[in-house]
Structure 1
Amino acid sequence: MSNTHALTRGLAGAAAAGLVIGLLVTAPAHAGEPSTGPAATSVADIDKGGAGQGRSVATSLLAAGPQITRSEVIRRAASWVGLGLDYSWNNTYQGYRTDCSGFASMAWRLGTPGLDTTSFVPGGVASWIGKSDLKPGDALLNDAAGAGGHIAIFAGWTDSSKTSYDAYEFTGSGVHHRKIPYPYFSGYGTFKPVRNNSIVDDAAGAGPDNVGIYRASTGEFHQRYDNGTLVKVPWGETGDLPVAANWDGGGPDNVGIFRPSTGEFHLRYDNGSIAKVSWGTSGDLPVSANWDGAGPDNLGIFRPSTGEFHLRMDNGSLTTIAWGESGDLPVAGNWDGGAAGNVGIFRPSTGEFHLRMDNGSLTKISWGTSGDLPVSANWDGAGPDNIGIFRPSTGEFHLRMDNGTLTKVSWGDTGDLPVSGNWDAGN
């Protein structure tokens, strides 16, 4: 797995909630998962298509864009969602025009301020492709000029019928991540699939992440592979708390345990060797992610008594982040698509995840209920990391995808603690 994709794995330290579950019995039930009924009409529901574009940068400067992976395109597109950017032909953000084509230029990491819809293909930056060729990071393009043109970044098919797709687009009401009928909403012109000529597929290991459990009664990790098979890894003993990430910076993700009795992490490497790291103390809950955005993943702890995360950097230094309070359960992931991983908490009393972005802002997501144990990883293999819960009462994972949909996976039993990672490196 590439380091750029394997930013935040495992994060099952949050499952240490098994030790504090007694604190949760009085919390009210909360129906945190999305309704299957129709959504209320919003501005985003009725705002579609282009809303005009600014002037394109000279295409001669962009005929060969920089190489970029599909997962990076999706991460970049997702990074503008929720920022409250206003559509403008003239204004810029991060150097790119805040219109549909400026947004696509940003996602593809082209030169600033970006091309317009008439220039992507004639300028040699992109080429027309067929519907069957579409992959995440490609786009649906209406190459008309001005307000008649529009472009949406393709993030994947919503189901096997291929009649609709998951996409990122900038319309007059802002940046949206939503389901779009193929090729686009009717009445907004002719849209065709297009591909950035410099895009490359992600390396093996950049596929979706997998669920797993740690069975304390046997000291075993039970990992679920992409094809549904089971792999058991003996590691740890009664009283240990599970954690997982890419400790050695290559190949599949690795398992580990936090031993409260000694305040040590015991991390297992690809070759089966062990690394011991002293970090934390009894009462702490383990967590992991790539806190500094480079090299292997890092470990950390959440200290419920102070509501603080204590994160260990590559050089062994400490970063402390105040986030959460007593009774919260820790989780971590790359919520905003930036280089570094982020912290978060699951609050059983409200059935909410409180996720911290790179800029310190808060995103709340209702998902789960009292008695659930939090987990996170990149379930759909694209865009930011996703949240989920393990429900011990049913032995099921309830995983939230980028578009807010629910995927259930039966894996584990009562008494197990959840963990996650890319166990099979996408193979």
Structure 2
Amino acid sequence: MSTTHVFSRALAVTAAAGLVAGILAAAPAFAADSAAPPSAAAIAAEDKGGAGQGRSVAPSQLAAGTQISRNEVINRAASWVGLGLEYSWDNTYQGYRTDCSGYASMAWHLGTPGLDTTSFVPSGVASWISKAELKPGDALLNDAAGALGHIVIFAGWTDSSQSSYDAYEFTGSGVQHRAIPYPYFSGHGTFKPVRNNSIVDDVTTTGDEPVAGNWDAGNGSPAGNVGVFRPSTGQFHLRMDDGSLKILDWGQAGDIPVSANWDGAGPDNVGVFRPSTGQFHLRMDDGSLKILDWGQAGDLPVAGNWDAGNGSPAGNVGVFRPSTGQFHLRMDDGSLKILDWGQAGDIPVSGNWDGAGPDNVGVFRPSTGQFHLRMDDGSLKILDWGQAGDLPVSANFDGGNGTPAGNIGIWRPSTGQFHLRNDDGSLTVLDWGQPR
């Protein structure tokens, strides 16, 4: 299971009234005799650094914010992207100033209207940290005053070199989500890592996580089966068709399991999505490792054969981004396909629901116990299966009966049981994994 998340944004270009000097200091210069004015996208690409900011709240209001998780910080930051908000020292949105420090204050859920860049650390709200300590939800801060200061929300490293990072910031051209060279674009002051003192790591379970796939394909079996990933040991415990156990050492605590036919032949295999790096670590049939940079912290992984319509037999990866309700699927040539499907709180699944063509996406909605599956023509198929607390799986569980379509199922952590739905709607229950 997996998907990448790339935002496509239309950014408003504005200057706050009475702040012309501050905006001009940060805005790019364009030739006076241009045939046409620069587009908003062009200005956004060139716009870097702060464009001034309003005064901080009074010292009596500088108490640290409420406890907040890293995923919530990223989701709050993402919620302002694409709204067309105008940069202003004086205006507010949702109670927060619409400038760089007001935006960071909003993402960190601090008091309104927000602090300024000179106040985050002295007030006790935040503390300096090292580059090695950076995690999604932290920030890069230039603590100078006014237009010289700036703050950027850190969302994760773009790759393992840690030379650039995924970030959210509010500049003179609007709220932006983009990659930034570490620690920031040159010529815009000194930026250092900083952490909200009230932030907490997202809860990660050390209990089993379910997977499903055709582990027996090399023996000519067409049916999918189940398994679990055990983070405490970094092992996959896979159930074969005869009920026997196959153990594979792959992954570590904090990883999220995925499975698909990465090689395009033989059995399905396993892999993990590592939120801390935004990387997939895929196991090939010969036991070798393939690493793909795709996704970011907060994303949930999916996997499937998105290219099957082009004759490609190999599975690929993708991510579901709850903050936008979008799947970001990686095609075999490395290109991106975005599908709007689902909402915050949904858990992604993927499978060949139509029984022909490419695999498609879907979500399990714990609040209703329903699967919302996307068919090849974009239509919706809803299946009632499962309940709150269940975790979804999908595979061709009926493959032994010659049916080509994918099926859904759930793993119930409280009992350590899989409840699998067959094509005729009947239930197969399998005891596999350790109850939580």
TM-score, scaled relative to structure 1 = 0.50
TM-score, scaled relative to structure 2 = 0.49
Which of 1 and 2 has higher RCO (CA within 8 Å, sep 6+)? 1
Which structure: larger Rg? Answer: 2
